[in-house]
Amino acid sequence: MAKSTSVLGRSEARAGLLMISPTALYAVLLLAAPLATVLLYSLATGGRGVVTWDFSLANYIEVWTGPVYRAIMLRSLLVALSVTVVTVLIAYPIAYFVSFHVAPSKKSLWLFLITIPFWTSYLIRVFLWKVILGYNGVINSGLMGIGIIDEPLTWINYNVGALVVTLAHAYAPFAILPIFVALEKIDRSLLEAGQDLGESKLRTFWRVTLPLSMGGVIAAVLIVFIPTIGDYVTPDLIGGGKLPMIANMMEVQMLKINNKPLGSAIAVSAMLIVALISLAFVLVNRRFLGAGK
Partner 1 sequence: MKSRGLKAYAIGYLIFLYAPIALLPIFAFNDSRIIAFPLSGFTTNWFAEMWADRQLWQALKNSLVISGSTAVIATVLGVFGARASTRYAFPGKGGLVGLIMLPLVLPEMIVAMSLLVVLLAISVPLSIFTVILGHVLITTPFAVAILSSAFQSLDKSLEEAAYDLGEGPVSTFRLIILPLVAPGIISSLLICFTISLDEFIIAYFLAGADTVLSSYIYSQFRFPAKVPAMLALGTILVLVSVTLLSIAEFFRRRGIAKTGGKDTGGFL
Site for partner 1 in 250-279 (CB under 8 A): 250-251, 254-255, 260, 263-264, 267, 270-271, 274, 278
Burial grade of 198 (CB within 10 A; 0-12, 13-18, 19 or more)? exposed
Instruction: Give least dist CB 71 to partner 1, A.
Output: 19
**Binding to partner 1 in span 55-94, by CB under 8 A:** 90, 93-94
Q: Assess contact for 226 and 279: CB atoms under 8 A.
A: no
CA dist list (Å): 162 to 94, 239, 280: 23, 8, 27
Q: Computed from CA positions of residues 127, 132, 134, 138, in that sequence, does the dihedral angle turn out positive or negative?
A: positive
Instruction: Give least dist CB 57 to partner 1, A.
Output: 19
Stretch that binds partner 1, among 55-63, 190-198, 206-214, 225-233 (CB under 8 A): 225-233
Query: Which residue of 67, 145, 147, 198 would you call a contact of partner 1, by CB under 8 A?
Result: 145
Number of residues that bind partner 1 (CB under 8 A): 92
End-to-end CA distance of the chain: 30
Which residue lies nearer to partner 1 by CB, 75 or 290?
75
Query: Which residue of 85, 160, 233, 289 would you call a contact of partner 1, by CB under 8 A?
Result: 233
Instruction: Give least dist CB 290 to partner 1, A.
Output: 26
Instruction: Give least dist CB 254 to partner 1, A.
Output: 6
CB within 8 A of 242, min separation 6: which ones? 158
Q: Assess contact for 127 and 237: CB atoms under 8 A.
A: yes
* Residue 45 neighbours by CB distance under 10 Å: 19
Q: Assess contact for 64 and 269: CB atoms under 8 A.
A: yes
Which residue lies nearer to partner 1 by CB, 116 or 193?
116
Query: Which residue of 27, 50, 190, 280 would you call a contact of partner 1, by CB under 8 A?
Result: 27
Which residue lies nearer to partner 1 by CB, 22 or 67?
22
What is the spatial distance between Cα 29 and Cα 188, in angstroms, rounded to a whole number? Answer: 47
290 phi-psi bin (left φ>0, alpha ψ -120 to 50, beta other) = left
Query: Which residue of 58, 77, 125, 161 would you call a contact of partner 1, by CB under 8 A?
Result: 125
Stretch that binds partner 1, among 63-71, 120-128, 189-197, 285-293 (CB under 8 A): 120-128
**Binding to partner 1 in span 155-194, by CB under 8 A:** 169, 172-173, 177, 180-181, 184
Q: Contact between 281 and partner 1 (CB under 8 A)?
A: no
Q: Which amino acid is at 32?
A: A
